[in-house]
Amino acid sequence: MSECCGPGYASPADAINAPCEKLLYTIAIYTGTGIQKPDYLATVDVDPDSPTYSQVIHRLEMPGIGDELHHMGWNACSSCFDDGSMSRKYLLLPGVRSNNIHVVDTATDPRAPRLHKVIDGSEIKAKTDLSGPHTVHCLGSEIIISMLGNAKGEAPGGYLHLNKEFEIQGRWENSMGEIKFGYDFWYQPRHNVMVSSEWAAPNTFMPGFDLEEVGHLKYGRELHFWDFEKREPVESFYLGEDGLLPLEVKFHHDPDSTHGFCGAALSTNVIHWWRDDAGKWQWEKIIDVDNEMHPDWPIPLPGVMSAILISMDDKYLYLNNWLHGDMRQYDISDPHNPKLTGQVFMGGLLGKAPQVNGVEVAGGPQMFQLSLDGKRLYVTTSLFSTWDNQFYPEIRTKGGVMVQIDCDPVKGGMKINEDFIVDFGKEPNGPSRCHEARYPGGDCTSDIWL
Amino acid sequence: MLYNVTIANRDSATFRVNGHRPLLEQLRHQGVDLPYGCEYGGCITCAAKMTGGEVDQRRQVALNNRQIKNGYVILCVARATSDITLEIGVESHDKLYRNPFLDPLQPHELKADIASTKV
């Protein structure tokens, strides 16, 4: 079966049975921290049997400063499983502010990744009139990256198309239709559908968060359904107050499923969509995290659900409340009726868990990556440099942390692993901030099956 | 026409700049280590606090009116129009970042394109 084949796994079920991750990559930033050093890709040892378990064992600095590394993506995933000429060798690291896209070879020495190529940000602007790279997905043997603005940082941007040699092919989409903003996207090829979400124009979100700009419609509140083959949007859902800042979108991993989910960050809701028996797309709100009162604040505090993740078996949805400070696990076996099955606090503004494993947590749970077997959830605390500086100014001196939560994929439940913590406040060049994480063998937020 | 730029929190070091090129580029060329990101006036990474003098920063789109009133300038696009005094780096960012739930903006304090003109 798999001996003939390309990267990834034949199916989600095969992915679940893959060997446990031993290394993990996370980006760490100095942009916006006051430390004049490049952002870098950190290799973290996550093998409990290793003497350097729970430590950063390698740092690959980017060539320049000020990139603001953020999300990452692979050059190839399980969508290339039938293509023996492809391999999961390169991790793409876009700089949201600089527009540079760094292509990193993680295969030659997985513990010590090396820079393969930089796609220059000014070349991307000149050839495609795009800036603000965010989500990276591979598309068979090619790559698409959501770009949140035009070359001047104005919405809606579009999609950058790269070939497998990382050469700029131009814009991927044939039309942006009436779409006002871009952010995340995910596609389900068997149903010829892509779904995209909305944050804001780079010129709006990069300087920080002015709450008043939500009311001035500077932030998104719609989800867009695309004809994936025609590369154009065909239907949009206006989510209104239930869907303020719809950020991360995830389909079920099961390639036959039409169910998918989006976390609306400011409303702190989970939106569920699916195609009904009549072939029409439907949506509903399935999780609504209540605002919390903070003793010193005039305005109730929203959770700010900046990320969601679906376990590889499609049974659990994980979400964060960055300002409240909790990670949650919901059983979504019935996607219309999620059940809360786990919750842990780490940091946050409500003061419920100021320390984790002896480290003071500045920030709250933010990005997370789940092991393929669904048992280990790695969580980091920084959102975006300017937003960190507004809500958690102490992160400048304390840096970010990475925590690992043990998850029970059978009965449900979450518990912080007391043997693991990576304190990015103690990095050699000073406190840095960690964000998205990925494993060398593919993970729960990368692979798509054709 | 050349102007003096005094950097108050770097022992009042003084640099000469022209009024044609952005301050970031000219100061970096003279060895000042400054943070920056987008280099088109949109991302706020290079913001500095101006405590004296005047600049032309019409090309910036990152600052709201409260930040401008507090003296912030976006060095990657701002050009000097007089002698100026700056505080640079994150030490100067005390009033740049604001928790939006604790300290809301008034309508006239928003960014220029959406601010009300009534004070």
State the pairing for strand pair B47-52/A401-407: unpaired
Residue A440 has pLDDT above 60, yes or no: yes
Q: A interface mutation test: which of B39, B87, B101, B109 has the most A CBs within 10 A?
A: B101
Residue B110: list chain A partners with CB under 8 A: 210, 212-213, 216
The CA distance from B40 to B50, in Å, is: 19
Residue A160: CB partners within 8 Å, gap ≥ 6? A124, A128, A130, A133, A144, A145, A147, A168, A171, A172
When pLDDT is averaged across residues A89-107 and rounded to a whole number, the result is 97
Search chain A and give the residue with CA nearest B91.
A34
**What are the extents of the domains in chain B?**
2-109
CB contact under 8 A, B45 and A203: no
The CATH number fitting domain B2-109, selected from 3.30.365.10, 3.10.20.30, 2.60.120.620, 1.10.540.10? 3.10.20.30
Q: B interface mutation test: which of A304, A389, A397, A429 has the most B CBs within 10 A?
A: A389
The residues in A 97-136 lying below 8 A from B, measured between CB atoms, are: 97-99, 131
Q: pLDDT tens digits for A131-171? A: 999 999 998 889 999 999 999 999 999 999 999 999 999 99
- Asked if omega into A156 is within 30° of 0 (cis), the reply is yes
CB contact under 8 A, A206 and B98: no
User: Residue A36 is nearest to which of B33, B101, B102, comparing CB atoms?
Assistant: B33
Burial class of residue A106 in the structure, from the number of CB atoms within 10 Å of its CB (0-12 exposed, 13-18 middle, 19+ buried): buried
Question: What is the pTM (predicted TM-score) of this model?
Answer: 0.96
Tell me what pLDDT residue A297 has.
Answer: 83
Residue B40: list chain A partners with CB under 8 A: 152-153
Q: A interface mutation test: which of B97, B105, B108, B114 has the most A CBs within 10 A?
A: B97
Residue A4 has pLDDT above 70, yes or no: no
Confidence band for B119, pLDDT divided at 50, 70 and 90? low
Residue B76 has pLDDT above 90, yes or no: yes
Q: pLDDT tens digits for A296-314? A: 888 899 999 999 999 999 9
Q: pLDDT tens digits for A346-400? A: 999 999 999 999 999 999 999 999 999 999 999 999 999 999 999 999 999 999 9
Distance from CA of B17 to the nearest CA of A (A): 23
Hey, which bits of chain B come out as E strands? 2-7, 13-18, 47-52, 55-56, 72-74, 79-80, 84-87
The residues in A 341-360 lying below 8 A from B, measured between CB atoms, are: none
Tell me what pLDDT residue A295 has.
Answer: 81
Q: pLDDT tens digits for A260-283? A: 999 999 999 999 999 999 999 999
Search chain B and give the residue with CA nearest A218.
B114
Q: Which two tokens stand for residue A46?
A: 């996550």
Average pLDDT across chain B, whole number: 95
The CATH number fitting domain A2-438, selected from 2.130.10.10, 3.90.10.10, 3.40.228.10, 3.40.50.11540? 2.130.10.10
Query: Would you call B111 an interface residue with chain A, using a CB distance cutoff of 8 Å?
Result: yes
Tell me what pLDDT residue A6 has.
Answer: 86
Tell me what pLDDT residue A303 has.
Answer: 98
Burial class of residue A276 in the structure, from the number of CB atoms within 10 Å of its CB (0-12 exposed, 13-18 middle, 19+ buried): exposed
Average pLDDT across chain A, whole number: 96
Residue A3 has pLDDT above 60, yes or no: no
Residue B44: list chain A partners with CB under 8 A: 206-208, 386
Tell me what pLDDT residue A296 has.
Answer: 82
The residues in B 30-69 lying below 8 A from A, measured between CB atoms, are: 33, 35-38, 40, 42-45, 61-64
Search chain B and give the residue with CA nearest A393.
B97
Residue A1 has pLDDT above 50, yes or no: no
The CA distance from A79 to A315, in Å, is: 21
Strand partners, A275: A281
CB contact under 8 A, B38 and A202: yes
